[in-house]
Structure 1
Amino acid sequence: MCADTPEYKDTLNLPRTDFPMRAGLPKREPDWLARWEKIGVYDRLRAKHDRQSFTLHDGPPYANGHLHIGHALNKILKDMVVRSQQMMGKDARYIPGWDCHGLPIEWKIEEQYRAKGQDKDDVDIVEFRRECREFAEGWVDIQREEFKRLGVQGNWDDPYLTMNFHAERVIAAEFQTFLMNGTLYQGSKPVMWSPVEKTALAEAEVEYHDRQTDAIWVKFPVVAGMDGATVLIWTTTPWTIPQNRAVCFGPEIAYGLYEVVATPDECWAAVGDTYVVADALAESVFNAARLEDGMVNRLRDVSAEDLSGLKCAHPLRAAEGASGEWDFDVPLLPGDHVTDDAGTGFVHTAPSHGDDDYAIGVKHGLQMTYNIMDDSSFRADLPFFAGEQVITPKGKPGGASPMVIKKLVEVGALLARKRITISDAHSWRSKAPVIRLNRNQWFAAIDKPVGDGQDTYGTTIRERALTSIDQLVTWTPQRGRNRLYAMIEQRPDWVLSRQRAWGVPLTCFVKKGALPTDDDFLLRNAEVNARILEAFEAEGADAWYADGAKARFLGDAVEHESYEQVFDILDVWFDSGSTHAFVLRDREDGSDDGLADLYLEGTDQHRGWFHSSMLQACGTIGRAPYRGVLTHGFTLDEKGMKMSKSLGNTIVPEKVVQQYGADILRLWVAQTDYTNDSRIGPEILKGTADSYRRLRNTMRFLLGSLSDFTEADRVPADDMPELERWVLHRLAEIDGQVRAAYSAYDFQGAFRAVFDFATLDLSAFYFDIRKDALYCDGDTLRRRAARTVLDILFHRLTTWLAPILVFTMEEVWLERYPGDDTSVHLEDFADVPTGWQDDALAAKWATVRRVRRVVNGALEVERTAKVIGASLEAAPIVYVGDAVAEVLKTVAFDDLCITSGIHVSTDVAPADAFRLEDVADIAVVFARADGEKCQRCWKILPDVGSHEHAGVCSRCDEALA
């Protein structure tokens, strides 16, 4: 399809375009970003009226560091959602935001102080907060540019920040709603406590890592009910033994009384000792004590009834110098949390240091202990252990556990010890271990009736949350529902308070001398609340710390000296959980009804933002703040390993953009099943770049073939040849698939539908066939129809791919429609005329393509054997059945096979004819084309040389005329 002689080559309609095959994305993408900002694409989209709104509410990242690949995955997914919804006819708004308060930022400022040898506590709190604010502001600016460079479109000029004064005012107002509706209370119960950071942590601020610890088997001598026997407990937290107040057993577990009849050397057991342990664990217990087979005899069963009447002595009760600290009986109590999977079948219970322990303590009236200080040291007057720390200021194990073990050995209370590795809670910021520690904290009661009259979905926060999960929210993928439901179903009350400085304070006052259980303990006064909010709106939350703040806010409502101001700050998850109020509800460009159509974050946010937003909104507006939740997985390296700087396998978005361009990174996201963990690395990106080149080639062909297309060339669909009408049918099918995929946030499905269509249906089939007509025909209906279809394809492909390849499709669009204010991102997906769908025609052409595939296979054999160089040298014989022959008679099958001739036969095919295994009813026998080669179109035809123009066929002669 390329003329042999120069004079004929100039007569061909070859593609003409300046669109380069080499994209040069890293250098060119910033120019398109600047152009979009100059012509105001985002604002112009907002000016499109009479559209249904769609709001994706941005989960705020922390403003404290450069972006990692997980940020890129998240923000690109969000951008694809917003752009595709907009192009499907919605008013799709996107307000980016940042989480600016809390420990991550405060910790960075403290690190700067420590590097200078300064103590944060010596700095004025307002000055310290100012430094935190400036730090956050700096990183907001940096991250904003990094996000924009990825092609993410949104209201970047006016993002939301949790540290803006209005935001701080609304966060305080949302907290006051909990204060006024009765769900706020102060209690002392175990919380996740970071000794290094000296604050309570939320579950979402905790991660689990392996660490080594001492497991110990401790003797609790029975003093009532089974004199002479000893109950054995097992624990991996020796430092909690001084706080023991009970031992729990499992009512359904089989226990036995075991007697030691012999001992090895250096053993902490003695002949005649009797121990009560779970039968299923007896062997492992005595092995740990180095008691071999034959050294222990089982005496009898011990029933739950036997155990429920027992009382033991605390292991340290007999210690000399204990000063009566542990002179009490330790009861045995039934507990459903006790298992015989590990340990001894008995659980040492310290109500101050565990959720199950605390629940048992409340149920049975056990004493709460306050032996551990904020820095994890034992209280100064505790016998034996005073001042010893569980965790040092550097996050390392302190002397508390070793000292407790040493004392237990001294008093003969230890049966065994073993060094083991456990998975334990660590602060995700300092990376130091955290402990369970009882502290006076502020909680939101999630099972208490809220009492605000919003009972449509339940009377308590938990009920409302569970109802919302099942009835009001669509989950992508569906398993996200199960995860959050289970978490909400099982979670304890929400710990709202933090012992830090940078954030929104708990804007409340407590009455001096009153107990937390007293009705007047908390001041609930609407006038006081209003004064606080007015100050926050004008001055921000720093107003809480200003001189005279207490008198200013209390006014004449109460006697000032009767109340104390609370200086704990709110859990940062309460901040981000409140964003629906000051973004979706309060902003003009927020949501029409104050709710989000979609929250989109990683799977870790089931215990983070999805979770806190649900609880917060159920306490204030009575339901979930979102109608949909989309969850994506984490990013891994090419081998499926977690990325780590120490392993050297991290992928930094900035580096990918510098090497390939942001569109390649976006295409990687589109090709990924984001509902699972996603792999990325150099080889994967190379494959992504190859897919990109194939698409770019398709668009270049369209641009070249449409260089001089005008409306005068357009052909109505009804007048088109069947091949063009088949392409329109496929367009209608793909349009439905693309819209359905985008609506379901299935970007992999949307891209795959377009990519397969572009490469298989277009490049490998339609374009391949129609190049001859496009290049060699004169002004024929066939050529005009083909170009009309190419024009339609151009508009569909560029808009379908625009949410994914934002820069490249803009380049393609501007190549054809240059102008100062044009952009593909101002377009919508074009509607599909009803007449394009033609299932009967599609069925017919499925038959044609099936036969063509066999012909192509036969010709490839000849080409590989170098019998022919090109398919135009062939005129094969195709053996088919009668029905298929009737179909092939109605099409120019030689053109479809790109051969110079073809003969269709219904005779029985020779035995050696070419066949494909999966198309057994079709056979092909190769034959050479008869005639001379046309010097213009290269077809080999009998009539070449018999026309006015030398060396051409009749079709080319007519075109030349």
Structure 2
Amino acid sequence: MCADMPDYKDTVFLPETEFPMRAGLPQREPDWLAHWEKIGVYDRLREKAGNRVPFTLHDGPPYANGHLHIGHALNKVLKDMVVRSQQMMGRDARYVPGWDCHGLPIEWKIEEQYRAKGLNKDDVDIVAFRQECRAFATGWIDIQRAEFKRLGVTGNWADPYRTMDFHSEAVIADEFMKFLMNGTLYQGSKPVMWSCVEKTALAEAEVEYHDHTSHTIWVRFPVVAVGPARADYEDDEDAFFGEQRQLYLPGTSVVIWTTTPWTIPQNRAVAFNPGIAYGVYRVDAVAENATAQVGERLILADKLAEAALAQAKVTAFTREINCRPDDFDGVLLAHPFRGVEGGVAEWDYDVPLLPGDHVTDDTGTGFVHTAPSHGDDDYQLGLKFRLPMTYNVEPDGSFRADLPIFGGQAILTPEGKEGPANVSVIKQLAYAGALLAKGKLKHSYPHSWRSKAPLIYRNTPQWFVSIDKKLDDGMGTYGDSIRQRALTSIDQLVQWTPQTGRNRLYSMIEARPDWVLSRQRAWGVPLTCFVKKGAKPTDPDFLLRNADLNARIVAAFEAEGADVWYVQGFKEKMLHGIANPSDYEQIFDVLDVWFDSGSTHAFVLRDRADGSVDGLADLYLEGTDQHRGWFHSSMLQACGTKGRAPYRGVLTHGFTLDEKGMKMSKSLGNTIGPEEIIKEYGADILRLWVAQADFTVDQRIGKEILKGVADSYRRLRNTMRFLLGNLAGFSEAEKVEPAAMPELERWLLHRLAELDAEVRAGYAAYDFQGVFQKVFAFATTDLSALYFDIRKDALYCDAVGSLRRRAARTVLDILFHRLTTWLAPVLVFTMEDVWLSRFPGEASSVHLQDMPETPEAWRDPALAAKWATIRQVRRVVTAALEVQRTAKVIGASLEAAPVVHVADGATLAALRSVDFADLCITSDIVLTADPEPAEAFRLPEVPGVGVVFELADGAKCERCWQIKPDVGSHGHAGTCKRCDEALG
């Protein structure tokens, strides 16, 4: 600028805003939390609900034990985005957070405290112990509530639900007694997953699978009798030997294979599959130290025989005879411990050979050792053939003290390590001559998800709900059994996101056994029932069923909580006038905590004023592990008490992994907690990570990923800052009606109409990733790289009252209201910052707004098609200018006045109908139908367009920097005509 040239800097309308470029989220987010707390955002939304259609997301209760991990953050942020987006789309979106409070993890923590003090839990009054558990849960609820709120999660934090509240415990008991009254509750004795460390049965949802190395053994079961008695063949000895001689010959054994040697003392049968081919194999030669004996005969599945014999160090063998399925009918075997020294006749019984469909020839020998007390398949076979159950294993995982040879030996120690039982059984099998071979196998094995210790199947008396019993309860619309109602609900009543969730839960419920409700613990809701002394579980009067008694129990729990069940004299008080207390025993097992959480629909959705009108949730949202957990137990519980699923929709998300796709583990040092991310980046970056991820699969997170998220955030923040800066002082009087706007603005309104529909559809489908991708692409491509770039000149340099500038500012105002509300469910803090920067006030909040309705009239497909063509040609021009900028021929596009050769007449007409130089940010442009010369710049993907670079002719305007021939010929020195007029 010449020294005597006027400085027009103060005449340009540069952006004005106090919205900072640097977010400072970790420091500033707590202020917005305090703002929401002060104005009571959640309560104000409920107050203005009016006739809005309710939307209820029912919170799957996290466990009140320990600080939040990244999986908690993913889950709660997803829920928050659902609730906020539904609210801003016009629903009355309710969210009551809750906590699971009963159960083993808390009880275990209190026991640990006792052990540290040298105290024994059993010596403490149970009510006092339960009160310590209650206090422990209360403390963690307060901690977790603060951590959830720090994530920006909205909800009724002042009045959450807790499964240990008196009303909750009363309803859980009442829901349990509905099963008591409808006849599905029964006491049975069957094998269940048992934790020797925690000394309790576990539900399927409490079991996880890890690699485990087990002993494997191949064991002989000698044939002692065959089906038909020889007397039946006394007139035809050859016929008898022709049919079953291979089984009748001395020295013949059936060989089983198992990975649980400790179950051999409990054996009651051996199973085979009639569909498998078997043979009798004679041992002809063996290697040194082999346990196999030359001349013995072993019955094996043909497919597995060679491998099994090799394991037994058999070097030569002969397949003597083919075994037909009928040959096994009535065959009896000897238990391998029959007659063993010290056995005291414990195992001197015959072992039947029985058909079972569960037997395969994938591994082992084709025969399965069957202990009905220690496996589900074994138990089912035992039921079918009335095999006796054994009670050899104590709650701590040791053999009963009076079991011969093995009495008192531990299968698993109290610490979850292998005890001596397996090795003792293997040694005794070798001593008895029954061990054919042994080895080790690494395989997937069930473990407790709390203690991480291996589990065993153990036969114990437990309380079950029959899920196949026919019900006559007046709720048979979707089936007459719990299983049928659940399967029908899954298929007909529930929307699954993703759809694969349907298949997973359906297959689980289709194949699952009866529901085990009881746990042998202290901290939980007791099984509120009484059994008749001396009666058998199968007797019709075994359980006391009385509606008045149930009502008394519920009233007592409502007033004093479930602790009252354990107070001396409670049984007598409850049974007074109903039954003789001395005739009944009070049950002190507690309910599986999955029954607690499965019942939450009753005391939250049904009973709370802010629950659900019909007692159903619009959505349950949890991790994919909850197909075997909360989704599952809620389905079973509600199908027994409501006749259907308690939810209309289920959304499942994957797990969180590190950047390499590895499971997070403290031992690996690859964990990253929400508090770390919030401290470094702020909660909005964590929330944006959630929005950018595909939650239907496992998500990765780490420093590099978060850097990429932060970059996306920065670009969005710049977009919002541009809006704020160029809306300074905007008023209603400036607004321009769409019909009067330039085509560029009308095209942008068309894009907004398209995007509004896509955003709403995406939020309705819980496709947060899709919503963010579309909004982000729009903000960075359509706005920052195109519209903002083009309109900067008009916004900064046009006269205040010019139509183009007013139209642009009108569109920026429209953009502001849509972008802030579209993004508010994700970037809760940042969009509040943006909103308050423009609309400050003590009661102001973007979270009190709805997404503005977008007029259908904004849609203009013909205009959109035209502008798609214009943008394609513009790409060729800007690419041609970039070549010149890179070559340092020009420094800015305003120095250029390119010649654009366009072959297509319609395209050329479209370009001439707009100010194409303005769109290309050049000082001038020449459009021509002349054939493009050889030196013209082209893009292969835009045929028929060539650009010849030319420098702009004229001088640089000192105000707008455009190069125009008329610069310097107006009243204001060094200005072009447009700027001269703007200066007045």
| Alignment correspondent of 2:687 | 666
Once the two structures are superposed, residues 121-142 of structure 1 have per-residue CA deviations (whole angstroms, 9 ceiling, x without a partner) of 1111111101100000000000
Distance 1:619 1:104 in 2: 28
Correspondence 1:287 to 2:310 = yes
Once the two structures are superposed, residues 373-402 of structure 1 have per-residue CA deviations (whole angstroms, 9 ceiling, x without a partner) of 111111111111000011101110011111
Once the two structures are superposed, residues 319-339 of structure 1 have per-residue CA deviations (whole angstroms, 9 ceiling, x without a partner) of 122111111111111111110
1:446-485 matches, cutoff 5 A: 446-485=467-506
| Alignment correspondent of 2:651 | 630
Give the 3 Å change call, closer, same or farther, for CA 4–709 of structure 1 in structure 2. Answer: farther
How far is the alpha carbon of 1:752 from its aligned partner?
A: 1.0
Correspondence 1:883 to 2:884 = no
Distance 1:489 1:915 in 2: 63
Code of the aligned partner of 1:857: A
Correspondence 1:366 to 2:367 = no
Query: SS of the counterpart of 2:201?
Result: strand
Give the 3 Å change call, closer, same or farther, for CA 219–830 of structure 1 in structure 2. Answer: same
8 Å CA contact retained: 1:577, 1:614: yes
Correspondence 1:308 to 2:329 = yes
8 Å CA contact retained: 2:5, 2:974: no
Code of the aligned partner of 2:40: G
Correspondence 1:31 to 2:31 = yes
1:42-81 matches, cutoff 5 A: 42-48=42-48, 49-81=50-82
How far is the alpha carbon of 1:220 from its aligned partner?
A: 0.3
8 Å CA contact retained: 2:186, 2:464: yes
Code of the aligned partner of 2:938: R
Correspondence 1:725 to 2:746 = yes
Distance 2:742 2:106 in 1: 66
Once the two structures are superposed, residues 702-757 of structure 1 have per-residue CA deviations (whole angstroms, 9 ceiling, x without a partner) of 10100111111111111100100001000000000000000000001111111111
Distance 1:264 1:644 in 2: 46
| Runs of at least 4 residues off by over 4 Å | 3-6
Question: 482-491 vs 328-337, which deviates more?
Answer: 328-337
Distance 2:370 2:940 in 1: 71
Question: 768-777 vs 226-235, which deviates more?
Answer: 226-235
Once the two structures are superposed, residues 658-694 of structure 1 have per-residue CA deviations (whole angstroms, 9 ceiling, x without a partner) of 1110000000000000000000000000110000010
How far is the alpha carbon of 1:6 from its aligned partner?
A: 6.5
Distance 2:862 2:444 in 1: 62
Question: 111-120 vs 694-703, which deviates more?
Answer: 111-120
| Alignment correspondent of 2:166 | 165
| Alignment correspondent of 2:817 | 795
8 Å CA contact retained: 2:339, 2:345: no
How far is the alpha carbon of 1:912 from its aligned partner?
A: 2.8
Distance 2:469 2:287 in 1: 57
Correspondence 1:811 to 2:833 = yes
How far is the alpha carbon of 1:559 from its aligned partner?
A: 1.1
| Alignment correspondent of 1:579 | 600
8 Å CA contact retained: 1:734, 1:753: yes
Query: SS of the counterpart of 2:943?
Result: strand
8 Å CA contact retained: 1:57, 1:95: yes
How far is the alpha carbon of 1:789 from its aligned partner?
A: 0.3
| Alignment correspondent of 1:136 | 137
Distance 2:521 2:195 in 1: 12
1:522-537 matches, cutoff 5 A: 522-537=543-558
How far is the alpha carbon of 1:173 from its aligned partner?
A: 0.1
8 Å CA contact retained: 1:182, 1:451: no
Question: 347-356 vs 422-431, which deviates more?
Answer: 422-431
8 Å CA contact retained: 2:282, 2:319: yes
Code of the aligned partner of 2:273: G
Distance 1:755 1:346 in 2: 61
Code of the aligned partner of 2:133: C
| Alignment correspondent of 1:250 | 273
1:931-950 matches, cutoff 5 A: 931-950=954-973
Distance 1:923 1:369 in 2: 90
8 Å CA contact retained: 1:5, 1:936: no
Work out which of the residue numbers 362, 370, 376 in structure 2 matches 1:349. 370
Once the two structures are superposed, residues 236-286 of structure 1 have per-residue CA deviations (whole angstroms, 9 ceiling, x without a partner) of 000000000001011111111101011111111111010011111111101
Once the two structures are superposed, residues 450-483 of structure 1 have per-residue CA deviations (whole angstroms, 9 ceiling, x without a partner) of 2211100000000000000000000000000000
Distance 1:821 1:128 in 2: 47
Distance 1:80 1:486 in 2: 30
Question: 845-854 vs 110-119, which deviates more?
Answer: 110-119
Code of the aligned partner of 1:31: D
Question: 208-217 vs 728-737, which deviates more?
Answer: 208-217
Q: Which runs of 5+ in 1 are unaligned?
A: none
How far is the alpha carbon of 1:5 from its aligned partner?
A: 6.5
Work out which of the residue numbers 718, 734, 737 in structure 2 matches 1:713. 734
Number of residue pairs the alignment of both structures matches: 958
Q: Which runs of 5+ in 2 are unaligned?
A: 227-246
Query: SS of the counterpart of 1:456?
Result: helix
Query: SS of the counterpart of 1:702?
Result: helix
Query: SS of the counterpart of 2:397?
Result: coil
Distance 1:715 1:385 in 2: 92
Query: SS of the counterpart of 1:958?
Result: helix
Scaled by the length of structure 2, the TM-score of the pair is 0.97
Code of the aligned partner of 1:471: Q
| Alignment correspondent of 2:263 | 240
Code of the aligned partner of 2:362: D
1:741-760 matches, cutoff 5 A: 741-760=762-781
Correspondence 1:116 to 2:117 = yes
How far is the alpha carbon of 1:119 from its aligned partner?
A: 1.7
Distance 1:219 1:834 in 2: 81
Correspondence 1:615 to 2:639 = no
Query: SS of the counterpart of 2:625?
Result: helix
Query: SS of the counterpart of 1:888?
Result: helix
Once the two structures are superposed, residues 75-94 of structure 1 have per-residue CA deviations (whole angstroms, 9 ceiling, x without a partner) of 00000000000000000000
Code of the aligned partner of 1:168: E
How far is the alpha carbon of 1:918 from its aligned partner?
A: 1.2
Query: SS of the counterpart of 1:197?
Result: coil
Work out which of the residue numbers 861, 882, 891 in structure 2 matches 1:839. 861
8 Å CA contact retained: 1:909, 1:923: yes
8 Å CA contact retained: 2:531, 2:586: yes
Correspondence 1:924 to 2:959 = no
8 Å CA contact retained: 1:528, 1:555: no
Distance 1:253 1:717 in 2: 78
Code of the aligned partner of 1:15: P
How far is the alpha carbon of 1:623 from its aligned partner?
A: 0.2
Once the two structures are superposed, residues 547-594 of structure 1 have per-residue CA deviations (whole angstroms, 9 ceiling, x without a partner) of 101101111111111100000000000000000000000000000110
How far is the alpha carbon of 1:309 from its aligned partner?
A: 3.0
How far is the alpha carbon of 1:66 from its aligned partner?
A: 0.1
1:269-284 matches, cutoff 5 A: 269-284=292-307
Once the two structures are superposed, residues 209-238 of structure 1 have per-residue CA deviations (whole angstroms, 9 ceiling, x without a partner) of 112121000000001121321100000000
Distance 1:560 1:884 in 2: 95
Correspondence 1:513 to 2:514 = no
Once the two structures are superposed, residues 420-469 of structure 1 have per-residue CA deviations (whole angstroms, 9 ceiling, x without a partner) of 21211111111111100110000000000122111000000000000000
Scaled by the length of structure 1, the TM-score of the pair is 0.99
8 Å CA contact retained: 2:967, 2:977: yes
Code of the aligned partner of 2:24: G
8 Å CA contact retained: 2:279, 2:321: yes
8 Å CA contact retained: 1:511, 1:522: yes
Once the two structures are superposed, residues 519-556 of structure 1 have per-residue CA deviations (whole angstroms, 9 ceiling, x without a partner) of 00000011111111110000000010001011011111
Correspondence 1:694 to 2:695 = no
How far is the alpha carbon of 1:883 from its aligned partner?
A: 1.4
